[in-house]
Structure 1
Amino acid sequence: MPSDEKRTVVTCEEAGLDEHDSLATIRHADDLLLAKLGYKSEFRRKISLIESTAIVLSILTPLASVTVTLPFPLASGGHVGMVYGWIIPCMFVMTVAASMAELTSAMPTSGGLYYFSARLAPRRWAPLACWITGWANVTGQVALMCSSDYLTAQMIATALEARSDGAVKLGLGPTYGLMIALLVSHGIVCSFKTSILARINVYYVVLNLGTLIALTVALLVCSGGQRVSAKTAFTSFENNTGWSNNGWAFLLSFYAPMWTMVGYDSAAHLSEETTGAARVAPIAIVSAVASTSLLGWLLFIAISFSTASIPRLLQTDFTIPAGQLYLDVLGKPGMLVVWSILIVLGYACGMAQGVDASRVIFAFSRDNALPGSKWWKRVHPGTRTPVNGVWLVMALSAILGLLSFSDAALTSLAGASVIALYTSYITPIFLRLTSGRHTFEPGPFSLGWWYMPIGSTAVAWTAFVIVLFLFPSGVNPTADTMNYTVVVIMGVFMFASLSWIFSARKWFKGPVRTIGTSTSDDSIAHDGEELEEKNEMRIEEREMSG
């Protein structure tokens, strides 16, 4: 892959093409780079920088994320949990986002993370690294899709309850039914042309950020007599978790930002549909994570100032406690206006996540890694989208949504998505620091020599978070209150491990080249040794010239 941004000419040989291949059909440098990475372009490149950033922001959706994850810091530190339990993890997440952005700039493919692992791992271990990363990412994407529509269903239930003054209160069954309806509608919408969805997301982001800023100001201005002092807002600590150790209780507040900060790899998965992907995708990742961190923190500070009683919010009858806060501060009309916007934003989040997850399914199936891959990798000739992959995501999300009948559904879904996705995030970053440190060729977005301290921090932080998210949110868990994260993660891990041991290790060789192949068993992982040798020669040449 070219590391010099001024280099615009890629030869047939470098692109992995024979002279007789139809190079004329590849219209610009993005497709030439993709060809060099081993893939034929199958999508229309219609996504711009603004649209790519908008899609990532729609998935992170700071306004809705802060609102629905408020129970975590409320119980785990109160005011301190809201203010510091958000910003501390966000600073560490930036190291993961920056490392991922560098990898995406060098290898902009729909496969994203598992492709990175295949290229950076030693040849012998490349297929296994690819297999682990791919299955972890697929699991996380489905869990995130499920949790997104589950929380949107909860927001609808809260709106109905507030509108009826408590007369209408949906139980777990009707809420699950709402989630299924949302999944079906998202299946239809996500089958449309990507260019249409990308354009719509720009308007959603404007609505998201505008409402967040307006709500932040409104909470500070309208809280009036119930507004607490700065000392209380920034230093008051309350432990309502049941855990006796206050330090451990505070750590549980990290659930809010960590569950929010997932899905920003969507820019990588949509890179084959992005114009100027090597530049656009990494900028979208870093800018979206940075803005979500800052705006979410400002909103949490405003919420901390306007929260007069932590126990009142924790004991509310509303499905989502933030509804009680907005009702107390803004009144019923104001709360319903904000909540209506939140429902729209929650739906937009599910739409963006459905697109992202379907691209992961498509890419992994393109490399024949999923059962029934021949179905899931099909691209609809009219919309040029993986319609079958979209509906597989929705079906799996509906099955995983059965966890919503548990009292710890939010904790379980958040834990499953965070652990699975961050496992897929950190695997190629770890390989970049180890086996790939001499062979990696950066793209236009490069961390330079900072890659080592930034990547090492990202790896250490992720290892800590994975352990944290396996614990239950309260003491003495029962069948209804236990954290089912370990069940979801271990279930997929066992299936993927047994599949590897008894079958996949014999035939799965990593990403499969779809262009310029000379044999039916040509894979990108097989090119690893040749790639390492070429890069070692380049390193020696540089040292001699230096």
Structure 2
Amino acid sequence: MLLIALSQAEICSAYPTMGGLYFWVSKLKPDFPVLAYCTGWIYAIAMNLTGTSGNLTVALFIASLVEVGSGRTLTRVQIAAIAWGINILSGVINTIGTKAIGRMSTFNIWWTLGGTFVLVITLLVKAPVKNSAEFVFTDLENFTGWGSKGFVVLLGFLQAVYSLEGSETAGQVAEEALRAEFLAPMAVVGSIIGSWIIGLAYMLALLFSVQSITSIQTTSYAIPIAQLYHDAIGTRLTLMCLTVICLAQFMAAVTAFTASSRLYYALARDNAFPAKGAFMALNRFQAPFVGIWMSVLIGCVVSCAYIGSVIAFNAILSSAAIAVMLSYLQPIAIRVFWPSSLQVRGPFHLGKWSWVINAVSLAFTSFICVLFILPTAFPVNKTNMNYAVVSIGGIGMIVATTWIFWGRFHYKGPVLTNVAQRPESASSDEKMA
């Protein structure tokens, strides 16, 4: 994931312009508009799914808070209803709190840092039994049914990749920073390093504090980690810790809907999306409300899958991670197969290592996209099937169909609304940089 961030940072330094992945692809390969079109659509859907999975996770944490605090077990229908409410609340915040979202994102950074510190200290101080370093670093618990330990370890990549995705978002707000050509790519790379350090500290605290794996595996709580906390630190502190995590997850999910609605706006502006007038309409808070509530509608519909099966929730999680990785795939692939596509080089560049890093990033991204659609349990049946392959196949069909019947007739590339950025303007690349 760090190599992927380095690949993105090099492009971001050359084109520190709003639009991120979508804009980068259009600049790297303007003679193939289908690539930018597919990137924009897949990334918009990915952000929608990321927000949906995040809000459903928030619902699971709320359900666990109820279960830990009152002893009452919530049904899947009730949890799905909570997810609907969280989706709608995310829509309301995005509709009327446009200016507040940026401040909320900044606050969430400090909340996550401070919250992680509190969680780590609480677990390490209060857990009655501390596990050995041998258990933490060498023990492997395999409940998947697969005989290959190596494959089981690979299946664990999902949580890591899902947690570390999102480094490219620094490039989407690059124009708002001074010296964006340097600071934006540093933020892209720094987000991975910071997340790795914080995540490692949190994971170690969890593993040293686990009291009973069997208890977690057989828990009745909506989200199993609630059982880990309850066993280690008791009811009251569990409620506090789950609240810290729940709020951080909610704030992150809200910004995912912000991203998806802005991408729908950009695609409509560039004639890559039908109903251009509706999706470009802004309310008095300067929010693209149609894109926001489309994100909410999709989130509510997808959340209903949880009623049928927990496996369906895992498919949503996998689909979100795969869709983001598919979005990463295209700019990196262009840099591998058309090395000269980056005509403008920014102050942050990889030099002679550029092609090698991009090639390894491409290989890893492709591998992850295949790995995450493979079955996670054996023997495979209808109840434990990884339905992410169905979801990703559906996304592929939607994008391909819209290109065939709409995109290839209407989409020519991003529409430049700034006069200084129009093709006839001299040194347009330099002005955008």
- TM-score normalised by structure 2 residue count: 0.92
Distance 1:278 1:393 in 2: 31
Match of 2:14 in 1: 106
Match of 1:248 in 2: 151
Distance 1:110 1:480 in 2: 42
Q: Are positions 1:144 and 2:50 aligned together?
A: yes
Distance 2:6 2:77 in 1: 41
Matches within 5 A, 1:367-386: 367-380=270-283, 382-386=284-288
Distance 1:433 1:309 in 2: 47
Deviates more, 1:181-190 or 1:266-275: 266-275
Match of 1:21 in 2: none
Distance 1:467 1:261 in 2: 18
Residue-by-residue CA offset, 1:287-332 (whole Å, 9 max, x unaligned)? 2221111111111112111124322211111111111111111111
Instruction: Verify the 8 A CA contact 1:243 1:249 in the aligned structure 2.
Output: yes
Distance 1:255 1:452 in 2: 26
Instruction: Verify the 8 A CA contact 1:184 1:394 in the aligned structure 2.
Output: yes
Distance 1:421 1:481 in 2: 23
Distance 2:419 2:190 in 1: 36
- SS for the counterpart of 1:408 is helix
* Percent of aligned pairs sharing the same letter: 29
Q: Which amino acid aligns with 1:179?
A: A
Distance 2:37 2:327 in 1: 10
Q: Are positions 1:119 and 2:27 aligned together?
A: yes
Deviates more, 1:472-481 or 1:293-302: 472-481
Q: Are positions 1:388 and 2:294 aligned together?
A: no
Larger Rg: 1
Q: Are positions 1:505 and 2:408 aligned together?
A: yes
Instruction: Verify the 8 A CA contact 2:334 2:341 in the aligned structure 1.
Output: no
Instruction: Verify the 8 A CA contact 2:322 2:369 in the aligned structure 1.
Output: yes
Specify whether residues 429 and 496 from structure 1 end up closer, same or farther in structure 2 by C-alpha distance, changes over 3 A only: same
Match of 1:472 in 2: 375
Distance 1:113 1:176 in 2: 32
Distance 1:200 1:185 in 2: 14
Distance 1:318 1:213 in 2: 24
Distance 1:290 1:283 in 2: 11
Task: Identify which of 103, 122, 136 aligns with 1:199.
Answer: 103
Distance 1:388 1:357 in 2: 11
Match of 1:239 in 2: 142
Q: Which amino acid aligns with 2:301?
A: I
Distance 1:139 1:314 in 2: 32
Task: Identify which of 356, 367, 385 aligns with 2:259.
Answer: 356
Instruction: Verify the 8 A CA contact 2:11 2:342 in the aligned structure 1.
Output: no
Distance 2:185 2:96 in 1: 25
Match of 1:463 in 2: 366
Match of 2:80 in 1: 176
* Offset, 1:193: 5.1
Q: Which amino acid aligns with 2:162?
A: W
* Offset, 1:354: 1.9
Match of 1:129 in 2: 35
Distance 2:420 2:171 in 1: 24
Match of 2:125 in 1: 221
Distance 2:264 2:79 in 1: 27
Distance 1:269 1:403 in 2: 31
Match of 2:390 in 1: 487
Specify whether residues 243 and 313 from structure 1 end up closer, same or farther in structure 2 by C-alpha distance, changes over 3 A only: same
Gaps of 5+ in 2: none
* Offset, 1:269: 2.7
Instruction: Verify the 8 A CA contact 2:217 2:224 in the aligned structure 1.
Output: yes
Task: Identify which of 219, 232, 252 aligns with 1:329.
Answer: 232
Distance 1:289 1:410 in 2: 26
Instruction: Verify the 8 A CA contact 1:104 1:112 in the aligned structure 2.
Output: yes
Distance 1:469 1:132 in 2: 20
Residue-by-residue CA offset, 1:348-400 (whole Å, 9 max, x unaligned)? 112222222222222222212122232112333x4333232222211222222
Residue-by-residue CA offset, 1:59-103 (whole Å, 9 max, x unaligned)? xxxxxxxxxxxxxxxxxxxxxxxxxxxxxxxxxx01111211222
Distance 2:93 2:259 in 1: 13
- TM-score normalised by structure 1 residue count: 0.73
Distance 1:322 1:132 in 2: 37
- SS for the counterpart of 1:429 is helix
Distance 1:349 1:514 in 2: 30
Match of 1:347 in 2: 250
Specify whether residues 517 and 108 from structure 1 end up closer, same or farther in structure 2 by C-alpha distance, changes over 3 A only: closer
- SS for the counterpart of 2:273 is coil
Specify whether residues 134 and 466 from structure 1 end up closer, same or farther in structure 2 by C-alpha distance, changes over 3 A only: same
Distance 2:225 2:116 in 1: 14
Specify whether residues 230 and 361 from structure 1 end up closer, same or farther in structure 2 by C-alpha distance, changes over 3 A only: same
Specify whether residues 227 and 469 from structure 1 end up closer, same or farther in structure 2 by C-alpha distance, changes over 3 A only: same
Distance 1:304 1:216 in 2: 11
- SS for the counterpart of 1:190 is helix
Distance 2:278 2:298 in 1: 15
**Aligned residues between the structures:** 427
Instruction: Verify the 8 A CA contact 1:415 1:470 in the aligned structure 2.
Output: yes
Matches within 5 A, 1:419-458: 419-437=322-340, 439-458=342-361
Task: Identify which of 149, 157, 170 aligns with 2:63.
Answer: 157
Question: How much is the aligned-residue C-alpha RMSD, in angstroms?
Answer: 2.4
Distance 1:101 1:389 in 2: 28
* Offset, 1:147: 0.1
Distance 1:320 1:152 in 2: 10
Match of 2:202 in 1: 299
Residue-by-residue CA offset, 1:425-461 (whole Å, 9 max, x unaligned)? 1211221233252543123432333322221111111
Q: Are positions 1:95 and 2:3 aligned together?
A: yes
Match of 1:282 in 2: 185
